[in-house]
Copies of this chain bind each other. A is one copy, B any other.
Amino acid sequence: MDYSQMELYLKAVGDHNRMLILKYLMKEALCICEFTELLDMTQPAISQHMRKLKAAELVMEEKRGRWTIWSLNTRHPQYPILLHLLSLLPEPERTIESLAAEGKRVICE
């Protein structure tokens, strides 16, 4: 891995909101609309974060109908390091379940 790739990689991970996104993706694949609820951000903001994560090859996207399902790229050479770094972070307070309790569950299919 050269210095530019490493910089891309560390900058992709090194953002509060993207760490949250990656934390959520450790548990399950999710679509953009679910992230907008989980992070309380606009849809374009989430899309742009996913673009950054994808540029660093940290995530994969799968188009399913209208939805784009995002998941961690487990084949990334540094995937084990990513898991380790994420394991150092606390679980996000908001979850899909807690959103469901508020009646905000996004069904996505």
Chain A residues close to B by CB (< 8 Å)? 1-4, 6-7, 9-11, 13-16, 19-20, 78, 81, 84-85, 88-90
Instruction: Check B6–A85 contact: CB distance below 8 A.
Output: yes
Q: Residue among A4, A10, A13 with the most chain B CB within 10 A?
A: A10
Please list 28 pairs of residues, one from A and one from B, whose beta carbons are closer than 8 Å in the complex, sorted by A's number.
A1-B88, A1-B89, A2-B89, A2-B90, A3-B19, A3-B20, A3-B89, A3-B90, A4-B16, A6-B14, A6-B19, A6-B85, A6-B88, A6-B89, A7-B14, A7-B15, A7-B16, A7-B19, A10-B10, A10-B13, A10-B14, A10-B85, A11-B11, A11-B14, A14-B14, A81-B81, A81-B84, A81-B85
Measured between alpha carbons, how far is A81 from B85 in the docked complex, in Å?
9
Query: Beyond the given A4-B16, A81-B85, could you list 5 further A-B residue pairs with CB under 8 A, ordered by the A residue number?
Result: A1-B88, A3-B20, A7-B19, A10-B10, A10-B14
**Nearest 4 A-B pairs (CB), nearest first?**
A10-B14, A1-B88, A11-B14, A3-B16
